[in-house]
Amino acid sequence: MTPAGSLLAAHDLHKTYGSTPALDGASFSVHPGEVVAVMGPSGSGKSTLLHCLAGIVTPDSGTVTYGGRELSAMSDAGRSALRRTDFGFVFQFGQLVPELTCVENVALPLRLNGVKRKEAEGTALEWMARLEVDDVAAKRPGEVSGGQGQRVAVARALVATPKVVFADEPTGALDSLNGERVMELLTESARTAGTAVVLVTHEARVAAYSDRDVVVRDGRCRDLEYAV
Amino acid sequence: MSIGHTLLGLLESGPRHGYDLKRTFDEKFGHDRPLHYGQVYATMSRLLKNGLVEVDGVESDGGPERKRYAITDAGITDVAAWLAQPEKPEPYLQSTLYTKVVLALLTGRDAADLLDAQRSEHLRLMRILTDRKRQGDLADQLICDHALFHLEADLRWLELTAARLGRLAEVVLP
């Protein structure tokens, strides 16, 4: 039972860490090209929901369906392949590979998918230009500012034109101005490319860049799509 | 906002007609609330009476007479004093939202639902302002940011209150 036309949907997810319930009947859906903010207080289960949706964490019960396929029915290798080809990720701290240059970082998802270096880095540079960080292509992550690093991370998340980008507090480590620019560029690029974005944030100003929001409280969320 | 002081301030750069003042005010500060002509002329009459502006000339160009206003020295002093005086921060101690939450608790209605509905409404407006900011110039961005920061403060209060409804109920229920 998933909302009609949804690309990715979770239904009645439960997940417990030790004796602590992280998700307690959470449901969620996102349509192709839609930007949905997942909001809620710290410890409410936002990140666990995101990890379940992305197939990183397996829920104790409930289903996650992506493009009509149930993630729990797929093998680990199948889920890993899906994350490489269809999903992109942005975290609070860019999590770029420090030994690689910025353009090599952005090209990485393409390289992992078997694209040759020259072609991969060419595409990576185009995305870096869109994110206004092509001038730091040859630098290593340690040599760029927090805002630049995060834009490099956004370019990396979008470079393989995924169907869904998961962004977990993508502006959490940035000041207001840099955070806004990252959100503008992330949502604009995703909308242009038709990529859906699942945006975990506790900041309303960041959530205001979304098309719709879902609130997680005590492991449950109110997704109005499900209420219809 | 003090319309009188704002119009006076606009006159400091040179004499203007009432229509010209209205247009400039609307462009720079009006946003969703343009001035009515009546407001402009009533304000100018008051400023004239108080000696803060004077009539610099009258033109008709075949149509109705149009007065051109100029700021006086007393007007310049008045603008300077207004700009130098810090605005009193709004204390927000008589909040309709708070009243509604308490009344919901007192009457056995669902206060959490009320807070959720308000939250959605706030975010809806924040989305509109964010979109407008994205398409606007720096002036638009700053004015929208001012509104966005206030709405964000409200939202934080809504979240905090939602988390404290149980305790609030203990305090307000007889």
Q: Which residues of B touch A182 (CB under 8 A)?
A: none
**Cβ pair A27, A38 in contact under 8 A:** no
Choose one of B32, B62, B84: the last residue of a domain: B84
Across the interface, whether the CB atoms of B148 and A207 are under 8 A apart is answered: no
Give me the pLDDT at residue A218, please.
Answer: 82
- CA angle, B55 as apex, B51 and B58 as ends, to 5°? 165
B68 and B8 fall within a common domain: yes
**Cβ pair A3, A34 in contact under 8 A:** no
- CA angle, A86 as apex, A108 and A116 as ends, to 5°? 35
Give me the pLDDT at residue A217, please.
Answer: 83
Domain that holds residue B74: 3-84
B14 and B80 fall within a common domain: yes
Choose one of B25, B56, B84: the last residue of a domain: B84
B111 and B145 fall within a common domain: yes
**Cβ pair B53, B2 in contact under 8 A:** no
Strand partners, A166: A89, A198
CATH number at residue B19: 1.10.10.10
B112 and B168 fall within a common domain: yes
Give me the pLDDT at residue B22, please.
Answer: 93
**Coil, strand, or helix at residue A200?**
strand
**Cβ pair A96, A173 in contact under 8 A:** no
Residue B89 lies in a domain: no
B111 and B165 fall within a common domain: yes
CA dihedral sign of residues B20, B22, B26, B29: positive
Choose one of B64, B84, B104: the last residue of a domain: B84
Residue B90 lies in a domain: no
Q: Which residues of B touch A215 (CB under 8 A)?
A: 116, 119
Residue B91 lies in a domain: no
Residue B72 lies in a domain: yes
- Which positions 9-68 of A are in contact with B (Cβ < 8 Å)? 41
Q: How far apart are CA A211 and CA A147, in angstroms?
A: 24
Residue B57 lies in a domain: yes
Q: Which two tokens stand for residue A71?
A: 């993630």
Give me the pLDDT at residue A222, please.
Answer: 65
For chain B, the domain total comes to 2
Q: Which of A215, A223, A225 to mutate to test the interface with B (most CBs of B within 10 A)?
A: A215
**Cβ pair A198, A206 in contact under 8 A:** no
B56 and B114 fall within a common domain: no
Give me the pLDDT at residue A224, please.
Answer: 54
**Coil, strand, or helix at residue B134?**
helix
Q: How far apart are CA A44 and CA A26, in angstroms?
A: 11
B39 and B76 fall within a common domain: yes
Largest CA-CA distance found in chain B, in angstroms, rounded? 74
Digits of tens for pLDDT over chain B (174 positions)?
789 999 999 999 999 999 999 999 998 887 778 899 899 999 999 999 999 999 998 887 777 788 999 999 999 999 999 998 888 887 777 788 999 999 999 999 999 989 988 999 999 999 999 999 988 899 989 999 999 999 999 999 998 998 899 999 999 887
Residue type, A220: R
**Cβ pair A213, A207 in contact under 8 A:** yes
Residue B145 lies in a domain: yes
Shortest CA gap B85–chain A (Å) = 28
B62 and B129 fall within a common domain: no
Q: What does pLDDT average to in each consecutive run of 10 residues of chain A (228 residues)?
A: 82 91 92 93 88 93 93 89 91 88 96 94 95 95 92 93 94 86 90 93 93 88 58
